[in-house]
A = this chain, B = another copy of it.
Amino acid sequence: MRTTEQTGARQSTLRSSNLALVLRTVCAADGPLSRADVAARTGTTRATAARLVDELVAGGLLDEGERLAPPRRGRPATPLLPGARIGALGLQVDAGLLAARVLDLRGRAVAEHVEDADLVGSDPARTLARLGGLTTALLDGPAGELRLAGAGLALPGLVDGEVLLRAPNLGWSDVPAVDLLAAHLPGGLRPVLGNEADLAARTVAEAAPGRPGPLRDFLYVSGQIGIGGAAVLGGRVLTGSAGWAGEVGHVCVDPDGPTCRCGSTGCLEQYAGRHALLAAAGLPRGTPPAEVVARAGDADVQRALDAAAGALGVALAGVLNVLDLPAVVLGGHLAALAEPLRPRLEELLGRRVLSARWRRPVVEAVPGTPAAGATGAALRALDGVLDDPVRWVP
């Protein structure tokens, strides 16, 4: 019996590999490419590139656009774009929302439904049934005409295979999330489960399926009730050995600090989580971040912001020292609070990151689209198309 070692390359894998390369080359490009462009960028001959492109066009993974007048002499090129009739479904449940979104291979949201909901302490079976219902409705529209390559579900907390082990934000434990949801989805769809912060970080790393975003190496810090995070290196999210990486909210800032619901003490989210920050500022839980920014000068509010910035600075500096990342990306409420947080945060990173003298860490705020986790889940579902297009061509 073949062991788990890699299988030798052969003519068929040659073709598969080159189909994937051609598809990725077109997807990664800033604008349409021609067959000649593809040949140039992949180091293949025009004959080979053309043959591979023809297969991808036949399979709907690439589309040919309207031929334009060339900018100079020569036969006009046929523009090639990622296919618009293949897509994936991304779903998300978070403490405050349900979302479903269909992305096509160009990265456009062909259809979406995002609704506010207070889901803390909700019954998982009912919540996931509700998500299934709104997804079914969504797929009855124009999105239903796309060929869906797969689906993904973004949840907060620790996920293991098809089970959500623990989501403190939702108050859920040991939930067979994929089974509960799939029972309410059409067409036998079984979403792949993933952590919300990991998937949201992907939307920063990737502008569209297979196309790099502006940052390739960064620490994404997702500010919600708690704080999640994800490290991205070379455009790829570090998920860790069991998929449980990224929990920057539970990095200890002060061992003698407040007790966290995780059982530890002095965790970052006890200072910079939304609830913790508002409590320290003496503001009600529903206060929007913009109002916190507006009242930044008030003594209590300012002290809470300073404490949050200080805690972020201490915790994130340690993470950057271990991971060697040049940037921090703030998401969620932390993105909205970036202006008052940034000065002290950057000062502490500059002082505490060992390599700051040579490369000073930067802090970006990326509020992102609502339900970025759903977008990230759809991006991940499209990986199968980009990695192995041979399965999608005739």
Contact = CB atoms under 8 A, between A and B. Distances in A.
Contacts of A251: 318, 321-322
A245 B324 contact: yes
Interface in A30-48: 40-44, 48
Contact of A358 (B160, B314, B318): B160
Contact of A315 (B44, B166, B242, B318): B318
A262 interface: yes
Given A314-B252, A323-B322, A359 B5 contact: no
A238 B233 CA distance: 9
A394 interface: no
Given A238-B323, A253-B255, A325-B240, A44 B245 contact: no
A49 to B, nearest CB: 8
B245 A323 contact: yes
B322 A241 contact: no
A41 B291 CA distance: 63
A223 interface: no
Given A3-B41, A8-B42, A252-B352, 15 more contacts: A5-B25, A5-B42, A8-B18, A9-B9, A9-B17, A9-B21, A10-B14, A166-B357, A234-B241, A238-B323, A244-B324, A248-B321, A250-B321, A264-B317, A319-B322
A48 B166 CA distance: 50
Contacts of A73: none
A280 interface: no
Interface in A224-261: 229, 231, 233-234, 238-248, 250-255
Closest 3 A/B residue pairs (Cβ): A240-B324, A245-B324, A251-B318
A141 B371 CA distance: 65
A7 B42 contact: yes
Most chain B C-beta atoms within 10 Å of own C-beta, residue among A242, A263, A355: A355
Given A231-B322, A244-B355, A255 B254 contact: yes
Interface string A288-331: 00000000000000000000001000110111011111100000
Contacts of A48: 8
B229 A322 contact: yes
A169 to B, nearest CB: 13
A366 interface: no
A43 B9 CA distance: 9
A250 B323 contact: no
B324 A242 contact: yes
11 contacts: A8-B21, A8-B42, A8-B48, A9-B14, A241-B324, A245-B322, A246-B324, A247-B322, A252-B318, A264-B317, A315-B318
